[in-house]
Amino acid sequence: MPLRQFTQSNRLNSVSKIAHFITRWTQWEYYPWWLANIPVYGFWLWFAARARHLFFFSNVNPGIPLGGAMGESKWDILIQLPEAILPKTLVVGKEEPLESVLFMLHRKGMTFPIIAKPDVGERGFLVKKIHNEPELREHLQQWPVRFILQEFLAQPLEASVLYHRFPGDDGYFGITSVCIKAFLQVEGDGESTIRMLMQKQARAAFQLTRFEKEYPGLLDQVPAPGESVLLEPIGNHSRGTKFINGNHLITPSMVQAFEKICRQIPDIHYSRFDLKTESWDALQRANFKVMELNGVLGEPAHIYDPSHGMSRAYRDLWQHWRLLFRLHIALKESGHSPTPHKESWQFIREYFRYKEALEKPVNR
């Protein structure tokens, strides 16, 4: 890096650190996950007391262990979905030989790039866009767990849609949240490096430590004036994606189109699609491909819109926990009891042991 750029970068970094520190502790969307959810713990305990069961929500989605609160297999959920909305996807066993994986990819008609993600995981951990065979080999060898490999969808728009349906053929169906995802990117000025451009905006600056580890060569590049550089292709809030409230897209026609699809998914009554679509008109017709279907703790992601505000976010979260409680009552009356406490705690312990092991990559 030239001396002038190095000096500018250091000066900018010092100023940015102060500004971004203030941003992190004054804007709700950047609060640490455990801190932001303190009120949510209260919501949970209130409804758990009313239900007389800590895991009352576990019967809302009988088709997913613990209702999809944590530790569920993404693959076991995906195979329950209608084929029309599924991208090309396969599951790879732990320490599967690369030759076998490549054969399965060929048989599925999948070509690079692809998305690799652990079958059990959360918040975008270990999700990676894989561009070629060497990258795939390195990723699978470093993290020897069961992985899902999925075609990288070319649809330009990504969103999350949260739906619910009450039991019975004529049970009420509704959509309560649509979140539009704006991927992390910077725009060049012909002089600043990508590192310097990232330092200028909090959303990108909070990702710098990760980029220094994963993409160090990218940071010293100087984009041309007006050139947009996509920094992160994975639409996850923890990776810098901006979440935008898209609830204005919820229309009777959209609800009707989604209902036809969701009623084909047995024993899942509260869930959130993470999806891609060609256009918002296509989404109205439920013309999309789903990357994941999240369970009962799939948040109404529109609450992370910077303009939504903390008080409105907690209001919406309260409404969704109340909805979960109502669904719990309805499912219980239809014969689905929550998972017993002993079994639930055992499932949670196993999941945390899995996570602890997953955070330690294998060096080979």
Q: Is the pLDDT of residue 6 over 60?
A: no
Residue position matching structure tokens 């719990």: 328
Is residue 331 located within the same domain as residue 286?
Answer: yes
Q: Are residues 52 and 64 in the same domain?
A: yes
The predicted model gives 216-245 an average pLDDT of 94
What's the whole-number mean pLDDT along residues 79-96?
Answer: 94
Residue 1, pLDDT > 90, answer: no
Confidence of residue 69 (pLDDT cuts 50, 70, 90): very high
Which residues lie below 8 Å from residue 336, measured CB to CB, with a gap of 6+?
59, 62
Last residue of a domain, one of 231, 264, 295: 231
Q: Do 120 and 82 share a structural domain? A: no
Residue 335 predicted with pLDDT over 50: yes
Domain that holds residue 146: 88-152
Both 63 and 169 in a single domain? yes
User: d(Cα 299, Cα 158) in Å, to the nearest integer?
Assistant: 16
Q: What is the pLDDT of residue 364?
A: 46
Does an H or E element contain 92, and which? strand 89-92
Domain count, the chain: 3
Mark whether 188 and 247 lie in a shared domain. Answer: no
Domain membership flag for residue 364: no
Spatial distance between the Cα atoms of 89 and 290, rounded to a whole number of angstroms: 11
Residue 38 sits in the same domain as residue 124: no
The yes-or-no verdict on residue 28 having pLDDT over 90 is no
Structure tokens at 221: 């590049």
pLDDT over 80 (residue 324): yes
Band of the pLDDT at 339, cuts 50, 70, 90? very high
Q: What is the pLDDT of residues 251-276, one digit of tens each?
A: 999 999 999 999 999 899 999 999 99
* Confidence (pLDDT) at 11: 56
pLDDT surpassing 80 at residue 341:
yes
The model's pLDDT over 106-161, given as tens digits with 9 standing for 90+, comes to 999 999 999 999 999 887 788 899 999 999 999 998 888 899 999 999 999 999 99
Calpha distance 123→355 (Å, rounded): 12
Question: How many Å apart are CA 95 and CA 104, to the nearest integer?
Answer: 14
Look at residue 9 in the predicted model and tell me its pLDDT: 53
Q: What is the CATH number of the domain that holds 147?
A: 3.30.1490.20
- Same domain for 161 and 310? yes
Q: What is the DSSP letter of 147?
A: E
164 in any annotated domain? yes
**Section 55-66 average pLDDT:** 97
Give buried/exposed letters for 317-331 (b at 16+ CB in 10 A, else e). Answer: bbebbebbbebbebb
Q: Select from 226, 281, 296, 287 the least CA-distant residue to 60.
A: 296
Residues 199 and 288 placed together within one structural domain of the fold: no
- To which H or E segment does residue 61 belong? none
Same domain, 71 and 171: yes
